[in-house]
Amino acid sequence: MNGGEKMNQNNQNEIEILDTASNNLGQSSGYPGYPLAKDPKVPFKNSNYKDWLANCEESNVEPLLTEEDLRNALFTSINITTSLLNYLGLGPIGTGVNILGRIFGFLWPNPNELNWVNLIRVVEALIDQRIELYAIENATSKLEGLRSVVSIYNTAFNHWNASEASRRDDALKERVRTTFADVDSALAAAIPQFRQNRFQQQLLLVYAQAANMHLLVLRDAVIHGEAWGYKSVTVDGFYDRQVCLIDAYTEHCMTFYRQGLQDLRNRGNWNAFNNYRRNMTIALLDIISLFSNYDGRVYRTSTPMQLTREVYTEPISNNNWGNLRLNAAQFQQVENDLIRPPSLFSIFNGSTMQASQLFVGGSGPVHTIQRFNIRSQTSGPNPHHSTSPWIGRLHSPTPSRTFELNTPGSDIYFIRSIASTYSTGSGYGNLISGLNQVIFYASPDRTSATVIDFINLNTPFRIVTKDSHLPPTGSHPIPSQFDYTHRLSWISATGAGLLQPSGSMVPAYGWNHISAERTNRLLPDRITQFPAVKSWALGGAGSTVARVISGPGHTGGALIAMNGFSLLEMRFNSPSRQRYRIRIRFVNDFNDVNCEIFSPNIPINTVNFVMPGSRASVNPNLSVRDFRYVNVPGSFEMPPNSNVSVILFTLNATGTCLIDKIEFIPDDLTNLEYEGKRHLEKAKKAVDDLFINNGREALKVNTTDYDVDQAANLVECVPEELYAKEKMILLDEVKHAKQLSASRNLIRNGNFAFYTDEWTTSNNVSIQADNPTFKGNYLNMPGASETEGGTTRFPTYVLQKIDESKLKPYTRYKVRGFVGSSHDVKLIVERYGKEVDALLNVRNDLALNTVAPSRIEASQCPSKTYPIIQDGCLTNVIDTNSYEEAQSGHANYKKEHGMCHQSHQFDFHIDTGEVHINKNPGIWVLFKISSPEGHATLDNIELIEEGPLVGESLALVKKREKKWKHEMGTRWLQTKEVYEKAKGEIDALFTDVQDQALKFDTNISHIISAEHLVQSMPYVYNKWLSNVPGMNYDIYTELERRITQAYSLYERRNIIKNGDFDHGLNHWHATPHAKVQQTGGTAVLVIPNWSSNVSQNLCVEHNHGYALRVTAKKEGPGKGYVTISDCNGNQETLTFTSCDNYVSNEITNDQSEYHFSQEMNEQRCYYPNETINEHRNYVTRTIDFFPDTDQVRIDIGETEGTFKVESIELICMKSQ
């Protein structure tokens, strides 16, 4: 047994440890000797003729990628990642060397090496899709151009940064500014070429490396820009672009990485799927997971990052299993078996493996490993040790041999596995496989190596030998104890696709990156960033236990999901006495989460704080912009040389809160002073920028109410313990600015401090104060409401009219405000017409557009305001040149209807001509949502004076006003015509001007006719909102009041109850077929045939006379009749036929002369389909009746056809 086991009588093995020094493996090269030097004859040792022919055929196919090309590409990627990890963990930012030089050396080692092409070929091979030659040539030509500008910038930077004296040299500053501008522009122009249509996946690694360089260049400008001579506002612009591009570049990479992963899953080859995932994690995801740490304002001091993700090397089996095409269920079984579910980060400590006999082909029994468990521990002091359940199953009841692997404190970085395999066919379920021998290479200290010939069952048959490891940083393809990058973290196995699932297995090895340290140690001079999955334990109450979930791919590992009452405990070591602040990187859905944090080891009280909600659902494919930071209030002193535990609780979280990292930030005096001074300078600048001059008498015209609020936020961030006096002065000044802003704002209550006072609103809007984007109250507008079935829709709106008395003649006014987010919101600003008609569709993307909301902290200390686009439309710009252009100024705009606005701040102008106090056109400002899917959050609405009109603007407003006057003249003529007709008819209804009594001859048709004239009044309601008064509302309501009085008097004098049938057949006795139907808004009794009858019994005074008046019409043959009779047999009858026409002393209610135009109908915005055509040919007849008794009866019927009765009256003559 070569270096293998020494069997004892109890059938237990003793592992022989082969020390590198005694076996001549610790040579100067640092690389293990045999058996790591792979024997090329091994794969063919036991192959048959069929295997040999297949191998010959494969050798004649030109491969997409050679093994050496793959090795070179991964070597490039992993060395760049390692360099970046080392760089980010160096000393204080601002004095370190430029990392670009080292990256440049890996990407462009010399003119003859095609490392960039290898990056393309890797993905091409992994997804098995060739890229066109022209696409490669286009990409490489862009890269050649980048090579020069990157090199020149790197040289200029290093010259400037060589010493304190060089950093003060103006010529070197100018040189670095020039070269920075060149490299920034070149990268911004080149990167879009690396996402060519159809080849985005193949170009993904090139795109990521170019994006990485661009973000690092911008990081230089953010950190050193002011030292180079840039103004702070320019550096703020660089920072805004960097934050935006971190999200945009990451999003592109993740989109096409996921697309490639899904395509390979659909093909059903798990091995190809896993190879893609592993290699792309190393070459792509590890790079983009660093992007967030490039933020020089969030990470002002160096911050070592730990990659906790886990990748798996190829399973140990033959090619038949590796090339299986699996259906969805089979594929998922392999995935579930071989990939460990998301779990807390753990350190591999060892394994117990048991062997038994397995029959492989015709060889008879072969001993193979058939089940094993894993021993591991959590990171940090006093770790939690655990042993996994058995993985795999024994073929026999008891094991033939047991092996113990114990490697506490050592990293296993290379494994050679030898397996016996036998295929009975090429399909699923035709393989027998098992491990015969495993050799582990481990290192306890990254300087010495240990070789463990762990298992040697010495019964190889049909063997497959596989080396399992991840790429090293050295040039040799096999890692050594000096340059390995990954350590063994897990061993898994599957029985899927095997002939004997019991006893036969296909194992695989999982690996962690060595940046994820075994211990959790606080670093005294830099930010310590603990991934949440390095927690010691998770817990909670009931079903709300915190749990580990998969990360989105760009966080470097998994996340902790917390909801309800859940907790996580983090344990770490504090080597020295030091004060720290705690910051948490998290994602939260709609609602705020109340949290508390405490420690049983250090003297701090329980600290309560809030993780702000995002007010939106969280996309499962999390973006960088979804992540935010919260500062835990206060600071905490860690004792020296102590083990500390910190516990984070969520208190009844209604949604899900995802924790990515917990950060400990050194809180020394220097850091406090720096942060305090930075906040003070920003607050001073923000307040100064509000005013015209140092006298503080007036605000700049371009200072918005939102700017004042943001300046107030900045002032609140100034630490009182350092700058109490300065903060008090700034608070007074910003309060003065707020008063000036309110005094010049013609919109009353524009920041909703007094809820909806001064606004006309729909009843579904609300005032809230729970969004950190706004300072205090803001307006929340939900979508339009609908009746059940969606037949009627009621818009959501807020409206305010600025009275004419507040305006000046021939003056330009600005209307502006801030939109948190909106969809399908109409903004109308009008005086002479729709001067502004805009559709506000503003994304809920404040994490993208702010300085850093990914960086919105609990303290709410913003660094800048949102971009304003004046009279224009900000599109979703990604590329840096166009993004910077959109941010740099206000776009020009030619007013027209139907504009689309996506900027958070809107800014428009509206002009006045003459002031018309009597007509009072004023200025209308309206926000309206007509769709149920719409929504909006608004604040800081303003209308302020900009200045007098001159030149072309003055001429244009005069022209517009002239047109408006003409239109108003036409409207007044239309109004006058309808008003005079309606008033004349209404006057004719009454006996006196006080409207105290109706004339005797006034019947229901007269009232209806007058009412229709009133209803034809144009311009009664606002043209956008059907329940908001318009210019004729007052005269309309006065005429309507008189119509209501006429109806009231009519009902009062009519002895017949419900004589106009407005209440259906109430008070009438009717046969079944008689009915009341609505015709043109009027109730009409319909007698459909001769057998139908309607009657009513009434009490009267027999010594008085009465007039019976009926308005009706007969349709078809026969007669309709209305009869009145008393108890003594007295009877009078009114008859109607279809031949009735105008007869003397009879009134025919023909309304044709009062038809109004469809235009007027639309302008009224009220009863839009109403007509009076159905009232033609109704005839009114009257007959006197003198009853002899105090009871009478009314009967209505017909002899044939249809009889319609509009009204019936019985009027006592003494009352007239």
pLDDT value for 63: 60
Mean pLDDT of 477-486: 94
Confidence of residue 9 (pLDDT cuts 50, 70, 90): very low
Helix axis angle, 204-228 relative to 115-127, nearest 10°? 140
Confidence of residue 62 (pLDDT cuts 50, 70, 90): low
Q: How many other CB atoms sit within 10 Å of the CB of residue 411?
A: 22
1111-1130 pLDDT per residue, tens: 999 999 999 999 999 999 89
Indicate if the pLDDT at residue 491 is higher than 70.
Answer: yes
Compare 1105 and 429 and report the one with higher pLDDT: 1105
Using alpha carbons only, give the angle 486, 491, 492 rounded to the nearest 5 degrees: 130
Side-chain half-sphere exposure of 1013, counting CA atoms within 13 A = 27
* Residues 210/218, Cβ–Cβ less than 8 Å: no
Q: Give the CA distances from residue 953 to residues 142, 795, 809, 912, in Å, rounded to whole numbers and listed in that order.
A: 48, 35, 13, 10
Mean pLDDT of 864-876: 33
**Beta-bridge partners for 1182:** 1109
User: Could you identify the residue written with the tokens 């959501």?
Assistant: 796
Hey, where are the domains in the chain?
1-38+306-516, 64-302, 528-667, 672-744, 760-840+861-948, 963-1053, 1069-1215
User: Could you identify the residue written with the tokens 């600290």?
Assistant: 607
φ and ψ of 990, to 5 deg: -110, 160
**Beta-bridge partners for 929:** 796, 825
Please give the helix or strand (H or E) that residue 979 lies within, else none: helix 951-987
Compare 514 and 2 and report the one with higher pLDDT: 514
Output the six-digit token pair for 182. Answer: 């060149």
* 829-833, 838-842, 1026-1030: least confidently modelled range: 1026-1030
Please tell me the distance from the alpha carbon of residue 93 to that of residue 525, in angstroms, as a whole number.
11
Relative to beta strand 1069-1070, strand 1094-1099 is antiparallel
Output the six-digit token pair for 820. Answer: 């948190």
| Peptide bond between residue 35 and the one before it cis (omega within 30 degrees of 0) | yes
User: Could you identify the residue written with the tokens 């935006």?
Assistant: 244
Distance of CA 388 to the CA centre of its chain: 39
| Of 663, 568, 658, the residue nearest 622 (C-alpha) | 658
* Residues 116/143, Cβ–Cβ less than 8 Å: yes
* Residues 638/865, Cβ–Cβ less than 8 Å: no
| Of 922, 946, 926, the residue nearest 936 (C-alpha) | 926
pLDDT value for 242: 94
**Beta-bridge partners for 659:** 560, 586
* Residues 204/249, Cβ–Cβ less than 8 Å: no
Please tell me the distance from the alpha carbon of residue 126 to that of residue 329, in angstroms, as a whole number.
23
Mean pLDDT of 120-125: 88
Compare 468 and 880 and report the one with higher pLDDT: 468
What is the reported pTM? 0.65
* CATH code for the part of the protein at 1-38+306-516: 2.100.10.10
Three-state DSSP class for 519? coil
Compare 1099 and 1176 and report the one with higher pLDDT: 1099
Mean pLDDT of 553-561: 95
Confidence of residue 1108 (pLDDT cuts 50, 70, 90): very high
Distance of CA 280 to the CA centre of its chain: 26
Indicate if the pLDDT at residue 739 is higher than 70.
Answer: yes
* Residues 367/396, Cβ–Cβ less than 8 Å: no
Asked if the domains at 760-840+861-948 and 1069-1215 fall in one CATH topology, the answer is yes
| Of 827, 787, 784, 766, the residue nearest 933 (C-alpha) | 784
Indicate if the pLDDT at residue 353 is higher than 60.
Answer: yes
Please tell me the distance from the alpha carbon of residue 945 to that of residue 807, in angstroms, as a whole number.
9
Confidence of residue 470 (pLDDT cuts 50, 70, 90): very high
Q: Which listed CATH number (2.60.120.260, 3.30.460.10, 3.40.50.1390, 3.40.640.10) goes with 1069-1215? A: 2.60.120.260
31-40 pLDDT per residue, tens: 333 233 333 3
Q: Exposure string (b/e) for 1155-1180, b if CB count within 10 Å is 16 or more? A: ebeeebbebbbbeeeeebeebeebbb
Confidence of residue 1110 (pLDDT cuts 50, 70, 90): very high
* Residues 82/485, Cβ–Cβ less than 8 Å: yes
pLDDT value for 696: 84
CATH 3.30.70 fits domain 760-840+861-948? no
Compare 667 and 351 and report the one with higher pLDDT: 351
Contacts of 211 (CB under 8 A, 6+ apart): 191, 245, 249, 252, 253, 288, 291
Q: Give the CA distances from residue 466 to residues 35, 317, 416, 509, 1170, in Å, rounded to whole numbers and listed in that order.
A: 12, 8, 6, 12, 86
Indicate if the pLDDT at residue 25 is higher than 50.
Answer: no
* Residues 728/716, Cβ–Cβ less than 8 Å: no
- The CATH fold assigned to 64-302 is Delta-Endotoxin; domain 1 (1.20.190)
* Residues 453/4, Cβ–Cβ less than 8 Å: yes
- Across all residues in the chain, what is the average pLDDT? 83
Confidence of residue 114 (pLDDT cuts 50, 70, 90): low
225-276 pLDDT per residue, tens: 999 999 888 998 999 999 999 999 999 999 999 999 999 999 999 999 999 9
1053-1074 pLDDT per residue, tens: 889 999 999 899 999 999 988 9
Compare 652 and 449 and report the one with higher pLDDT: 449
Q: Which listed CATH number (2.60.120.260, 3.40.50.300, 1.20.1510.10, 3.20.20.140) goes with 528-667? A: 2.60.120.260
Please tell me the distance from the alpha carbon of residue 190 to that of residue 139, in angstroms, as a whole number.
8
pLDDT value for 458: 67
Q: How many other CB atoms sit within 10 Å of the CB of residue 448?
A: 15
Three-state DSSP class for 666? strand
pLDDT value for 94: 44
Confidence of residue 669 (pLDDT cuts 50, 70, 90): low
940-981 pLDDT per residue, tens: 999 999 999 999 999 999 999 899 989 888 989 999 999 999
Helix axis angle, 100-107 relative to 67-88, nearest 10°? 180
Q: Give the CA distances from residue 543 to residues 57, 547, 564, 570, in Å, rounded to whole numbers and listed in that order.
A: 58, 11, 8, 21
* 117-121, 280-284, 798-802: least confidently modelled range: 117-121
